Amino acid sequence: MNYQEIIPLAKQGDQSAFQELFDAHWNYLYNFHAQKEISEDEIEDLCIETFSKAFEKIDSFDLNYNFKTWLVSISKNLYIDQKRKKSIDQSTSQINTAVEYPDETPSIEDQLIEKQRLKDLRQMIKELKPQYKNILILRYFEELTLAEIAERIGISLSNAKVLVMRARKKLSEKIENKP
């Protein structure tokens, strides 16, 4: 594989170049995180997020450097951010359990607002292309692993990973552009 040829194609938006980079580096990145004490789902999500961010920022990649090193540094930073967020969440949780708070049962208004948010989210998912809509439903509503999704719809695992990544990106674009 000649990265000097593939990366410029990826920078031009060539999907087969993205696929080639994805296929060539998925296992390495997955195994890199498998050494950590995190679940398989967390590893998959971290890898998908890494590729998503890398492909989003591919224009900033300098061909004088190693692509694998660049990818790992993105992934390390995402992992560190996740750990920090978990640490903050746990600290907040410990503080919250140590202090008595008044009943925080959601009010009727809060429940209505949450229902409206879910309704809006479901509507945005329905507006996606059928392949993206279906993959998001399988991943997040039916909570299937990427391997289970691939098996269910009869595609390769790497294609399932790419589809989830693209579907998440399309949904986030819809959410960001929502008036």
Q: pLDDT digit string (tens) for 131-156?
A: 888 888 888 888 888 889 889 989 88
pLDDT at 143: 84
**Domains assigned to the chain:** 1-101 (1.10.1740.10), 103-179 (1.10.10.10)
pTM exceeding the 0.95 threshold for the entire prediction: no
Contact 155, 169 (CB under 8 A): no
Provide, rounded to the nearest whole percent, the portion of the chain with pLDDT above 90: 9
Question: What is the residue type of 105?
Answer: T
Mean pLDDT for all residues in the chain: 83
Token pair listed for 109: 């208004």
Q: How far apart are CA 112 and CA 109, in angstroms?
A: 5
Confidence of residue 100 (pLDDT cuts 50, 70, 90): low
Q: How far apart are CA 26 and CA 23, in angstroms?
A: 6
Length of the chain: 179
Question: What is the residue type of 78?
Answer: L
Confidence of residue 116 (pLDDT cuts 50, 70, 90): confident
